[in-house]
Amino acid sequence: MTARLRKLIDDIAGSFWVVPALLVIAGVVGAWGLVVIDSKGLVPEWSNGWLYNGGATGARTLLGAVASSTIGVAGTVFSITIAALSLAAGQMGPRLLRNFTRDRGNQITLGIFLGTFCYVLVVLRSVRVPDEGAFIPHLAVSVGIALAFVCVATLVYFVGHVSGRINVDTVIGLVSEDVRDVMRTLATDDTQPSAPAPAFWNGAVPIPDDRRGYLHQLDEEGLANWASENDTAIRMLVRPGDYVFPGAPIAMIKPPREGAAEAIRNATALSPQRNSSTDLLFAVRQLVEVSVRALSPGINDPHTAISVLDRLGSALCEMEPLRLQTGVWVKDDRIVLVVPHVRYDELVGAMFHMIRQNAAGKPSVLIRMIEVMTWVVSCERDPARMEAVRKHADLVMRDAERDVGSPSDLNDIRVRHAAFVDTIAEGAAGLSKA
């Protein structure tokens, strides 16, 4: 149940309609409340000089103008947003659309215009000319005028906001923040228990699952508590971001216990699409996709690829004092749950493999890739991690020797690779040879 609740909260937080809907409700409720205040004569006399003091016809005309203009501009705002989404999908990848739809600036802008429109409609229906029993909600009409000025300021803000958001450097910065956020969530500075030997699972029984979709949330603690209470051990075969195939095993259990399948179902929540909130590799691949598209022949923008490499290197440097969770849960000195988690070498592979493969014959990108790796190993002293990074630096060097035709460019790459090797051996002192 916890996993499903987390998924619901995450879906709501990432939905485009929630904030506009709340602002529309606020507009309707606010209009109704102010009209009631006007009708009961609760407006203080000292404020009369600041409020609308015209007649009912003027109030209707004024409110009608505000209503028609705000709904028209709301349509324009929506059209601009769709155009920005189309541009982002074409140049930076469709998987980045979620970063635009969950953007609070876009949501608040649309919500302000729609909320103002609904506010004005509610106030407009309460204005009555003398033939209808004269009533002019001066306070409510005055607030409507103020909201019209707020809409003008919001429109100016929105134009600048959208123009900044479709800038590729801004998109790279936003996605790299997602990578760091997920990385901090999945990393820890505590000592992690080691996974048991494969022989530990001899005799384990598979637990099939008839659902399909990407694993969005997994309540590890709840599932570990269930396994502990039932004196068993569970090995999950999938992690957040993995696809669950109908009928395929989702976990192994030893010894088998009744209710295990139901416990796993209650501890997991599936989604039809991957999500970066709990899936580190997906967050990384969103950033890598920007780089790969920039390196395509149709765009051919190595500077964007270099910018992505800088952000990836920064994320790995921030990882230095942290350790990725092993996914091993121990209760009462006994392993009760093992969940596959992202390993450091797997993370580095997701960052560099596709960029290297698509940067063949582009010396500037290959040079920057080795330079980024050099900075990473300069602040990383874990031998296993440095070896994982070295593997990719060697792959870059081999690809360069095969694909780079210019002897001068190839020599530059060799010099960077030699500096990388020196940095592994000597630490930060090796940077002086770069």
Shared-domain flag, residues 185 and 113: no
Structural domain tally of the chain? 2
- Domain annotation covers residue 171: no
* Higher-scoring residue by pLDDT: 190, 292: 292
Shared-domain flag, residues 116 and 8: yes
Kindly tell me if the per-residue pLDDT of 93 is higher than 70.
Answer: no
Shared-domain flag, residues 13 and 161: yes
Shared-domain flag, residues 30 and 134: yes
> How far is residue 402's CA from residue 260's CA, in Å, rounded to a whole number?
53
- Domain annotation covers residue 248: no
Predicted local confidence at residue 73, as pLDDT: 86
- Domain annotation covers residue 417: yes
For residue 181, count CB atoms less than 10 angstroms from its CB and return exposed for 0-12, middle for 13-18, buried for 19 or more: middle
Shared-domain flag, residues 78 and 185: no
- Domain annotation covers residue 415: yes
Shared-domain flag, residues 152 and 285: no
Shared-domain flag, residues 117 and 86: yes
- Domain annotation covers residue 231: no
Render pLDDT for 217-269 as a digit per residue (tens, 0 to 9).
889 889 999 999 999 999 999 998 899 999 999 999 999 999 999 999 999 99
Shared-domain flag, residues 155 and 185: no
Tell whether omega for the bond before 321 is within 30 degrees of 0, i.e. cis: no
* Higher-scoring residue by pLDDT: 302, 15: 302
**Mean of per-residue pLDDT scores for the chain:** 86
- Domain annotation covers residue 332: no
Shared-domain flag, residues 185 and 146: no
Closest residue by Cα to residue 228 from 339, 336, 338: 336
Q: What is the pTM of this model?
A: 0.80
Render pLDDT for 36-69 as a digit per residue (tens, 0 to 9).
888 887 777 656 667 878 788 888 899 999 999 9
Kindly tell me if the per-residue pLDDT of 8 is higher than 80.
Answer: no
Shared-domain flag, residues 99 and 141: yes
Render pLDDT for 196-208 as a digit per residue (tens, 0 to 9).
888 999 999 999 9
Q: Coil, helix or strand for 303?
A: helix
Domain that holds residue 45: 2-166
Shared-domain flag, residues 131 and 185: no
- Domain annotation covers residue 249: no
- Domain annotation covers residue 338: no
> How far is residue 91's CA from residue 105's CA, in Å, rounded to a whole number?
22
Closest residue by Cα to residue 117 from 200, 185, 24: 24
Q: What tokens were used for 222?
A: 């709840």
Shared-domain flag, residues 98 and 185: no
What is the band of 333 on the pLDDT scale with cuts at 50, 70, 90? confident
